[in-house]
Structure 1
Amino acid sequence: MSNSFSNVAQVLNLLTIQDGAEIRYDMLSDALYWSDEIPRDSGDNFDFACLQPVFRYRMTLMLGDPDVEFQTAWEIARGMFPKWPGFCTGRCSQNADLTALYREYHKKAVDALRLLPD
């Protein structure tokens, strides 16, 4: 895990919070993230997947029920790229609007999975 973080830490520390960043949903981590948390023109050179446990832990923080399974990833990430926009307080705290948005995205994802053939 820390190897993957090492590969992206420098880039993530250079990102800044952008006004109007889009809130998106990642089905694999079952979590919200913001468009300014990932480099725009990174193409295949950026290991987005390494952030999934970080996104998941942060989502559980926002829901008020931290999942200790992902806490170590969170702590390593905070140490390796502390300036990353994803760690700003407004994105890591309980928030009724974000919780409602998450539940909406989550429901759509679950419904979409139910439509897949067995």
Structure 2
Amino acid sequence: MADDDLDQIEASLQAVAARLNSCHPDPNATVKYDLLANALIWPDELPAPQQPGEFSKLSMVRVLQRHRTTVILGTPSLELEKYWLLGKRLFPQWCGFQQDRITTSDERVALYWKHNPWKQRDEAENEWKAMQDRLSES
């Protein structure tokens, strides 16, 4: 993502930072897969929009949720890490940063791959890369 993207995301997150910082974790919230974010999310992580245009600003949290998912999967995204750090600076009390939501578990990994529509594409890419590696070795 380009610096322009970072500026746009930062402006959006700054506009909703106070609301995100005041999100309280729901002890009954359960993790789900979100197709738009391609991420694992908890339903208590986003407050309902209260003003026109606020939905698009709140939806920028998907970038953070995606990064967290890459951490859960054991393949942290260096590209998305800057947005995660930005979020931690702007709204450090956000319930999405809780350690128990960042922790890897077999159940979370299985949930992600069960619902991820990109799984077959990813598997095909991995097979292609492995084949290219074998060909370059010979």
Specify the TM-score bucket, using the shorter chain as the normaliser: 0.7 to 0.9
Q: Aligned partners of 1:56, 1:3: CA distance in 2, in Å? A: 19
Consecutive unaligned residues in structure 1, runs of 5 or more:
112-118
Q: Percent identity?
A: 31
Q: How does 1:75-86 map to 2 (within 5 A)?
A: 75-86=85-96
Aligned-pair Cα RMSD in Å? 1.7
* 2:15 pairs with 1:7: yes
* C-alpha distance after superposition, 1:2-44 (max 9, x if no partner): 10110111001111110211322221221010011011x3265
3-state SS of the aligned residue for 2:41? strand
User: Which amino acid counterpart does residue 23 of structure 1 have in structure 2?
Assistant: V
In the superposition, the TM-score normalised over structure 2's length comes to: 0.71
3-state SS of the aligned residue for 1:94? coil
Larger displacement relative to structure 2 (22-31 or 58-67): 22-31
Q: 1:42 aligns with which of 49, 73, 84?
A: 49
* 2:68 pairs with 1:55: no
Consecutive unaligned residues in structure 2, runs of 5 or more:
1-8, 120-138
* C-alpha distance after superposition, 1:70-110 (max 9, x if no partner): 0100000011011001000011121111111111111xx34
Structure with greater Cα Rg: 2
In the superposition, the TM-score normalised over structure 1's length comes to: 0.83
Match of 1:95 in 2: 105
